[in-house]
Amino acid sequence: MQKTITRLTILLLVPILLIGCADPKTLERMGLITTIGYDLTEDGKILTTMVLLQIDPEAPQNFAVLTTKADTTKGARIKADLKSPKKLQSGQLRVALFSDEIVKKGLVTLADTLARDPAISDLTYLAVVEGNVNKMLNMENKKFSDISQLIYKELDQNIKGETIPSATLQEVMHDYYSDGIDPSMPILKVSNGEIQITGMALIKRDKMVGKIGIEDSFYLKLINDRYTAGSIEMSISNEGIKYLQQPEGTDKLVVVLDTIRSNSHINLINKEKLEFDLKIKLNTRLMEINQAVDLKNPANLKQIDKELSKKMEDDLGKFIAKTRELGTDPFGFGEIYRKSVRDSNMTAEKWHEMYPESKVNVKIDLEIVRTGVVE
């Protein structure tokens, strides 16, 4: 019995000892790429900027930036390997950035190269940079020592916080290869020394054709996804609202909604004249309001519901009209058409010709189910 216990103890200890004997210098010998960015140079080449995680106690900072220029991304990678003292690895890539100049010319070659690399996660975030990506990745930030982590966390918390729609490598490539929907990607910009998300890039096939601000980004997610906890600030008319204290010099109410829960339904109601019904239902909480409004009065809340619904219907109508003018369909109306019409033989080119002639009837059903700190 004693011998059996001794053998079992040895068998349990051997793996632990082997793990303990693993070379602690392995990670120090690797150049882990966490962010990669692409710019277009004046001579038509691709400037690739890589941010590497430094796992080296003797390194002056925990990241390093490597820049190479080549005709292709693979050529840039080969040149980067020649310049790097460490073996470059893509397995920790979290963000891929593309200058707006590149995306206006065509994104798919670069994104497809990332998608074909088995070491790169499909969940890598893609984003467009207004201006120069290389300058952004080389900028100093006193509030955050690692520029790569700053950009990743900024995208991650705004996507998970439902401020902007998600745009992972998998989602962007899926939309590109689908015939009835176009991709969209967050836009980053350096402003006053800080990196901020300014909206979403609208893409037709793989070329950027326009952009929208944060408010329209909310509407884009409202149509494409379900909200489970989002928030937004909106300005509405104060028509029919009764105040506790009469405001001075304004005819607008600014309200902040949060804990938004929504679902949307799109139905094709006329395939010959190409007409859709878009119905969205929202339940939300009124978090804050900028005027002294009597929120215990049910008539006031009902009027705010009405004004918010009207505001959203107007904004969505204008937003959809803008995408029709640009000839891009980030909502997926084309997918609804393809699924609803048998033998449609739909292609992306055919849908881009049809979509500008379509009509969308928007109906918002909004209800404030709770009021927040004001009450």
Say which amino acid occupies 356: P
Strand, coil or helix: what is 246?
A: coil
| CA separation, residue 207 to residues 96, 115, 215, 275, 296 (Å) | 16, 18, 22, 26, 50
> Residue 22: is its pLDDT beyond 60?
no
The secondary structure element, H or E, covering residue 67 is: strand 63-70
| Whether the Cβ atoms of residue 48 and residue 80 lie closer than 8 Å to each other | yes
HSE-CB at 187 with a 13 A cutoff on CA atoms is 21
Q: What is the pLDDT of residues 215-235, one digit of tens each?
A: 999 999 889 887 777 788 989
Please name the residues in contact with 10: beta carbons below 8 A apart, sequence gap of 6 or more. Answer: none
Token pair for 20: 């303990």
For residues 152 and 94, give the distance between their C-alpha atoms in angstroms, rounded to a whole number. Answer: 7
- The answer to whether residues 351 and 179 touch, using CB atoms and an 8 Å cutoff, is yes
Q: Which candidate, 96, 101, 93, places its Cα nearest to that of 41?
A: 101
What is the secondary structure of 297-309 as a DSSP string?
Answer: -HHHHHHHHHHHH
Tokens found for residue 86: 């460490």
| Rounded mean pLDDT, 173-193 | 94
- Maximal CA-CA distance, the chain: 91
Q: What are phi and psi of 248, to 5 degrees?
A: -115, 130
Tokens encoding 85: 């003292």
Instruction: Calculate the CA dihedral of residues 115, 220, 106, 71 and round it to 10 degrees.
Output: -50
Cα–Cα distance for residue pair 285/366, rounded to 1 Å: 11
For 90-105, write each residue's pLDDT tens digit. 889 999 999 999 999 9
Highest mean pLDDT among 192-196, 225-229, 286-290, 371-375: 192-196
DSSP single-letter state for residue 181: -
Phi, psi of 355, deg, nearest 5: -60, -45
pLDDT digits (tens, 9 = 90+) for 193-212: 899 999 999 999 999 999 99
Q: Is the pLDDT of residue 6 over 90?
A: no
